[in-house]
Amino acid sequence: MIPADLKPERVFYFFNQINQIPRPSGKEEKMTDYLVNFAKERGLFVYRDKVNNVIMRKPAAKGMELVPSVVLQGHQDMVCEKNPDVDINFETDAIQTELVDGFIRAKGTTLGGDDGIGVAMALAILDDDSLQLGQIEALFTVDEERGLMGAKNVEAGVLQSKLMINLDSETEGQIFMGCAGGQDLTACFKTEFEPMPKNWLALEISLTHLHGGHSGDDIEKGYGNANQLLAQFLKQANDRYGLRLCSFAGGNLRNAIPRDATAVCCVPFEHREHIRVDFNIYAAQMQEQYTKDADARYVMQSTTADNMLCEQISANFIECLANMFNGVLC
């Protein structure tokens, strides 16, 4: 729980309330209800559109009617990521927070500061009748994290302001005049399988507990991408031993740096010791290179498998994932 005396008190009061409300991208209905009720309780104009964007409007203070109207904009949803050992349902459970060394942190999950703190700032301003301001409008969009879906569906003619401040920045006390973009790529592969030969060995290889982070704010900080790091080892093993892939799973969200990845694969039994030695060397190299992923775990263990991908399909998938660009593209 956030301490009640943490300043600015009303900002953190609203941030604490917001973090009690489940709000995954695309499922912000409870958050939308909260915002509408907030406005109604204070007699503010409020409009909820067909996609659950919420617009509020607070009239100018007396004597401030000629001050240009400003929109304060934030988004309702949050990135829902957690550590593997944390039991939470992001669609029903609150975010558990604590104060550590002067910082509000979540217990094993994402905090929701993106963009809960921006929404809280706007609510604190709307809630404070002592502020001598011109008209304030607030726009709270939905489904930002999956591609600005709410922003793309804001209805024309509802907002009255010509100025807007987006409260979804990363650095306190600074206003950015622009930002980077991103791209999505969808790749399709056929999944033709064949039986694994009896003289082959099935292995489960996993990279877990990497730091992870937001694909925007954290992409330049040097955190490892578990999907890519695992694929790069698989490519090395494929080149040397003819490794075949049986399955691959990694990452949880399109806008979060993958923290965990697991592959089931198989190699001829004669290479069982060589690939284990290679993996230990690779793990040591990655731990030395990615020092910010101090808790990373690299595990290879025997498992069972009945089928493996056909040779070319397996190689194509591994090659594609291993060589996918990861990081800031200038």
Distance CA 233, CA 243 (A): 11
How many Å apart are CA 81 and CA 78, to the nearest integer? 9
pTM: 0.71
Residue 218 CA, chain-centre distance (Å), reads 10
Please return the burial class of 195, using the count of CB atoms within 10 Å of its CB with bins 0-12, 13-18 and 19+. exposed
- DSSP letter at 153 equals G
Annotate 216-272 with DSSP letters as a single string. TTTTTS----HHHHHHHHHHHHHHHH--EEEEEEE-S-TTEE---EEEEEEEEGGGH
Pairwise CA distance, residues 50 & 272, whole Å = 58
Residue 176 pLDDT:
80
β-partners of residue 262 are: 206, 249
Q: Which residues are annotated as catalytic?
A: 77, 144
Supply the pLDDT for residue 328.
Answer: 85
Q: For position 236, what pLDDT does the model report? A: 97
Cα separation, 77 vs 67, in Å, equals 31
Per-residue pLDDT of the chain (330 residues; tens, 9 = 90+): 788 888 999 999 999 999 999 999 999 999 999 999 999 999 999 999 999 999 999 999 999 999 999 999 999 999 998 888 899 999 999 999 999 988 899 999 999 999 999 999 999 999 999 999 999 999 999 999 888 899 999 999 999 999 999 999 877 788 887 776 777 788 888 899 999 999 999 999 999 999 998 887 788 899 999 999 999 999 999 999 999 999 999 998 888 899 999 999 999 999 999 999 999 999 999 999 999 999 999 999 999 999 999 999 999 999 999 998 888 887
